[in-house]
Amino acid sequence: MVPSTGSGHRSTGSTTQAGVVRDDRRLSAWQGVARQYDYWWTVYKRTWRSSVITSFASPLLYVLAMGVLLGGFVHVSPGRLEGATSYLAFIVPGLVAAQAMQTAVFETTYPVMGALKWHKSFYAQLASPLGARDLANAMLAFVLFRVASTCGVYFLVMSPFGVFATWWGPVLAFAATALTGMAFGVWTFAFSAHVRSEASFGLIFRLGLIPLFLFSGSFFPIGNLGPALAWVARLTPLWHGVNLTRMLCLDHVDLSTALVNVSVLVVVLVVGWWLAIRTLQRRLAQ
């Protein structure tokens, strides 16, 4: 029986065993994310220092080491580097896209496990009108912020090196890297919400992250892998992200290929987002 107020109106809440009235009205997707802004902003203010090295310093030093120092010994024609005039111009777009993937994966492994297993903040937040969908959307929005800030610094630091053919190319490439990162983030979120032990993350890092990072076209054209392995590389979402980012940065855009790259990433993102929410709902209901 639905309780009523003294004025005769029916209540929209439910009473828990502890006698606490909970507001059961479903929030919109935007409201669910907005109500967690303060929480995630506090989390970032307390943890941003620990991410400076892994998110900004290490990747940039890696680009300088591989692109500038090692790249000084690579002298090949632009035709062998997919139109890039230098090895630095070739490697930068690939490394930014790969960094977007790594940032998204790191932010959706242990943080998700912690919210479910260690500090259990997800369960505490369920005592409010927030639902599993709202929790997943807010964390993924935070992941998007982390991916965007990391890739944005990448592009800003690399701009004086003359690796971008146009001014608008890096702008669109920035959006491409954010799309690439989130395409991996949603699937990793679903995996993290499903497994019971953090030991399972070794599968992602060893069998997924490292092979994708090395053989997705970030360091060399996938044509060097041979016909069979090149087609395998083309089936991975990271290759689509790397290829799209590189085409935009070098201003060598093939419209049909770019549409395929975007379509694949969007499909992977949408399906993974749906799976992430469903998996978290099932986990929190157990």
pLDDT in tens, 68-102: 777 777 777 777 788 888 888 899 999 999 999 99
14 beta partners? 22
Report, as an integer, the average pLDDT of 131-155: 95
Query: Is 112:185 a contact under the CB 8 Å cutoff?
Result: no
- What number of H helices and E strands is found in the chain? 13, 2
The CA distance from 231 to 125, in Å, is: 45
What are the tens digits of pLDDT across the range 188-206?
A: 999 999 999 999 999 899 8
The CA distance from 164 to 250, in Å, is: 6
User: pLDDT above 90 covers what percent of the chain?
Assistant: 64
Query: Is 95:177 a contact under the CB 8 Å cutoff?
Result: no
The CA distance from 269 to 172, in Å, is: 18
Number of domains in the chain: 1
Q: pLDDT at residue 25 above 70?
A: no
What are the tens digits of pLDDT across the range 154-171?
A: 898 888 888 899 999 999
pLDDT given at position 17: 43
Q: Using alpha carbons, select from 25, 18, 121, 102 the residue that is nearest to residue 59.
A: 102
Q: Which amino acid is at 146?
A: R
- Asked whether residue 240 is assigned to any structural domain, the reply reads yes
- Find the domain containing 229 and state its range: 29-285
- Asked whether residue 5 is assigned to any structural domain, the reply reads no
